[in-house]
Amino acid sequence: KRLYDYRITEINSTSIINDCLDLLDRWHETNTKVLCCKELSIERPIIEETLYNLNILSLKSLALYVKDTLVGFCVGEIHGSTA
């Protein structure tokens, strides 16, 4: 039995990419006391560029939605027979 109404999908559309970037921005807003804003401001454009170029970079991705709200995402590469 599922405890949450969730779905897992690839990051394969502009809509999902925008959800990922919105989640990243919300995370940044709530964690500015923990991490330095300078580093996060440098990382954000690189994360955005990566998300828009997943196929070109041969990367794999997942987005996790709970009740149609994105709660997490990840990006990785194939290494041998594992991702």
pLDDT one-digit tens code per residue, 37-52 = 677 778 889 999 999 9
d(CA 4, CA 30): 24
- Once rounded to an integer, what is the mean pLDDT over residues 1-30? 90
Is pLDDT at 34 greater than 70 in this prediction? Answer: no
H or E, element range at 26: helix 14-30
Which pLDDT does position 33 carry in this prediction?
Answer: 64
Alpha carbon 16 to its chain centroid, in Å, reads 9
